[in-house]
A and B are shown apart, each in its own frame.
Chain A
Amino acid sequence: MMADRLWRWGGNALAVFTCLFLVLPLAVVVLFSFSERSFFTFPPSGFSLRWYQAAWDSDLFLVPALRSLVLAAVATLLAALLAVPAALGLRRMAPGRLRSALEFAFLSPLVVPALIIGIALLYAFNRTQLLDTFTALVVSHTLIVFPFMFRAVLTSALGLKQALIDAAEILGASPALTLRRVVLPALVPGIVAGGIFAAIVSLDQFTVSLFVTQSEQIVLPVALYKYLFDVNDPVAAAVSTVLVVFGLLAAIVIDRLGWLRHLAGGGA
């Protein structure tokens, strides 16, 4: 009995420890951002908002942050424009080798590590004079987020009942009207889910962005990394805290939608 109780207690204690382990680095960053001193001390002393002021005043973060947001929106939109016809096309194909191969190809940017995509694109963009341009960012981010969008839209497309399309056409609807009034509305849940995941993946993407930009077109995570290694004062913590808050807000939204536990399908 003693051993049983020990087993149970040990398990629960380890579960609590693991929860703390998961949130500890986030808590430390938030704590440090309000520090009065420019270096880390524990226990923290004083309270100050001046690092937030400094982050806002410096021109190092605002433009990259806006660029990250625009990039995420553009890449998500482009991925949707490519994924919807692709998913509808696959839906009409008979199951078989070709369809599996295409499906695998569309999901493959998820399997290849971002670092390797980054190196390959670094060379490709360097040769085509596109390195450090917004175009390079858009192309690489569209590629990275495409599998997330495609997977979500495909699920919706495969769930669409053929009977509905047939009914619309028998009732005299043109293919264009059927597409607009029957097919696309059925894909909306997939597009929304895929869009949220795609935007998150784009905002989190650091590796590929680092390789395809130099100084002109850097995005927020890269700006943060460069600041960390040039200056490393709590300004980095203040910027990070803003990202923690946005991450938690996104988590709350996704939790409300009931998708939180499906998050593990992603990549890093």
Chain B
Amino acid sequence: MTALRRASLPDRATLWLALAPACALVLLAMLVPLAEMAVISFRRESFGQILPGFTLANYASLLGGLASLQLFLHTFAVAAAVTLLCALLGFPLATAIARAPARWRGLLYFMVAAPLLVNTVVRSYGWLLILGRKGLLNSLLQAAGWTGEPLALTGNLTGLVIGGTQVFLPFMVLSLATSLLALDRRLMESAEILGAGPARTFVSVTLPLALPGLIAGSVLVFSLMLGAFVTPLILGGTAVKYLSVAVYTDALVLFNLPRATALSLLLMIAVLAVYALQKRLTRRAEAALA
């Protein structure tokens, strides 16, 4: 009887003791540092020293300046381009995965997911070798006589888009494939029996039904690319106009921590806004399907 009573009586002290260590980790290692960071973003600095007082100057210069407006525009345009490319390249591959016989499906999954397990520094380095001035692509183009001068594909936003697409493509493909595999194949078959060609079937049956997967994949890729740092740093270099790289330059090269933290907070708000948007979009897509 005592055992039964013990099982049914929730012991509040033990419960909170069990939760405390994890709460302490998130609080002390993340929330408090983030709060401190928010405080610094309202401070002034001089030669790397943070001065007391309160100022909105960091935000004012970031939100008002033409240079930072360009920075935000570039970052969002690159993230959007990467998302679009991931969707365009990801859809055919995800369709192939969904249609493939089980044996091939495993192999395709392996090819898509395995690059995720290779360090991002290594993958970006690979693109440096391909896109560099004397890299693989320029060697091939010049050998074929298509270009005289080597194309500038790194140290600018082009390399970033190409590298970012490869780095984040697996997320899109896996998300789309999950969505496509869950579809009832008979819907597509009936569309074809009723005379719709593959293109028509895709546009009016497959695409609308795969929309939740497409939205989930796009939001994931877009927000990951917005916050991405490794690929922009390696393929763009510190001169490129990209939010994450600008944060790094401000913090570790120029030692302007107030500006870096203000920029980081704006970036974080953007990323969280994208996640919030996803919740609404998925709900609407699911409502439309139901």
Q: Which residues of B contact A3 (CB under 8 A)?
A: 197, 199
Q: Which residues of B contact A240 (CB under 8 A)?
A: 119, 121-122, 125-126
Interface residues of B in 1-18 (CB under 8 A from A): 3-4, 6-7, 10, 15-18
**Residue pair B197, A7 in contact (C-beta under 8 Å):** yes
Q: Min CB distance, A160 to chain B, in Å?
A: 13
Q: How far is the CA of A4 from the CA of B136 in the complex (A)?
A: 35
**Residue pair B33, A251 in contact (C-beta under 8 Å):** no
**Residue pair A264, B229 in contact (C-beta under 8 Å):** no
Q: Which residues of B contact A172 (CB under 8 A)?
A: 3
- We find that the number of chain B residues with CB closer than 8 angstroms to chain A is 100
Q: Min CB distance, A225 to chain B, in Å?
A: 5
Which of B52-60, B63-71, B220-228, B282-290 touches A? B220-228
Contact string, A18-49, partner B, CB cutoff 8 A, digits 1/0? 11011111111100100000011110000000
**Residue pair B197, A22 in contact (C-beta under 8 Å):** no
Q: How far is the CA of A41 from the CA of B119 in the complex (A)?
A: 24
- Interface presence of A218 (CB below 8 A): no
**Residue pair B89, A18 in contact (C-beta under 8 Å):** yes
**B34 in complex: contacting residue of A12, A112, A221, CB < 8 Å:** A112
Q: Which residues of B contact A40 (CB under 8 A)?
A: 129, 132, 134-136
Interface residues of A in 185-221 (CB under 8 A from B): 200, 203-204, 206-207, 211, 220-221
Q: Which residues of A contact B30 (CB under 8 A)?
A: 108-109, 112, 117, 120, 143
**A268 in complex: contacting residue of B106, B128, B168, B247, CB < 8 Å:** B168
Contact string, B121-148, partner A, CB cutoff 8 A, digits 1/0? 1111111111010111001100000000
**Residue pair A170, B22 in contact (C-beta under 8 Å):** no
Residue of A nearest to B50 (CB): A123
Q: Min CB distance, A256 to chain B, in Å?
A: 11
Q: Which residues of B contact A267 (CB under 8 A)?
A: 224
Q: Which residues of A contact B240 (CB under 8 A)?
A: none
**Residue pair B18, A260 in contact (C-beta under 8 Å):** no
Residue of B nearest to A175 (CB): B6
Given contacts A169-B7, A251-B114, contact A261 B174 (CB under 8 A): yes
Q: How far is the CA of A221 from the CA of B127 in the complex (A)?
A: 16
Given contacts A102-B19, A243-B119, contact A166 B7 (CB under 8 A): yes
Q: Which residues of B contact A170 (CB under 8 A)?
A: 3-4
Q: Min CB distance, A210 to chain B, in Å?
A: 8
- Interface presence of A247 (CB below 8 A): yes
Given contacts A4-B199, A42-B136, contact A255 B106 (CB under 8 A): yes
Given contacts A106-B22, A204-B119, A221-B119, contact A25 B197 (CB under 8 A): no
- Interface presence of A257 (CB below 8 A): no
Residue of B nearest to A39 (CB): B134
**Residue pair A83, B22 in contact (C-beta under 8 Å):** yes
Q: Min CB distance, A129 to chain B, in Å?
A: 15
- We find that the number of chain A residues with CB closer than 8 angstroms to chain B is 95
Given contacts A90-B19, A109-B30, A268-B167, contact A116 B115 (CB under 8 A): no
Residue of B nearest to A208 (CB): B229
Q: Which residues of B contact A176 (CB under 8 A)?
A: none
Q: Which residues of A contact B166 (CB under 8 A)?
A: 21-22, 24-25
Given contacts A169-B3, A204-B120, contact A248 B114 (CB under 8 A): yes
Q: Which residues of A contact B163 (CB under 8 A)?
A: 25
Q: Min CB distance, A222 to chain B, in Å?
A: 8
**Residue pair A21, B23 in contact (C-beta under 8 Å):** no
Q: Which residues of B contact A27 (CB under 8 A)?
A: 126
Most central of A15, A27, A93, A111 by chain B CB within 10 Å: A15
**A142 in complex: contacting residue of B25, B92, B226, B251, CB < 8 Å:** B25
Q: How far is the CA of A102 from the CA of B15 in the complex (A)?
A: 13
Contact sample, A vs B, 30 pairs, CB 8 Å cutoff: A11-B95, A11-B198, A12-B92, A17-B89, A18-B89, A18-B90, A23-B111, A28-B130, A28-B136, A32-B129, A85-B17, A86-B18, A92-B10, A102-B19, A112-B30, A112-B268, A115-B247, A120-B37, A124-B36, A150-B22, A204-B117, A206-B121, A220-B119, A221-B119, A224-B121, A224-B122, A228-B125, A228-B128, A264-B113, A264-B220
Q: A23-B115, A165-B7 are in contact. List 12 more A-B contacts (CB 8 A).
A: A4-B199, A18-B89, A23-B111, A25-B130, A86-B22, A116-B265, A120-B264, A122-B251, A166-B4, A207-B229, A240-B122, A264-B175
Q: What 3 pairs across the A-B complex have the smallest Cβ distances?
A: A25-B126, A113-B227, A247-B118
Binding site for B on A (CB under 8 A): 3-4, 7-8, 10-12, 14-15, 17-19, 21-29, 32, 39-42, 81-83, 85-86, 88-90, 92-93, 102, 105-106, 108-109, 111-117, 119-124, 139-140, 142-143, 146, 150, 165-166, 169-170, 172, 175, 200, 203-204, 206-207, 211, 220-221, 224-225, 228, 236-237, 240, 243-244, 247-248, 250-251, 254-255, 260-261, 263-264, 266-268
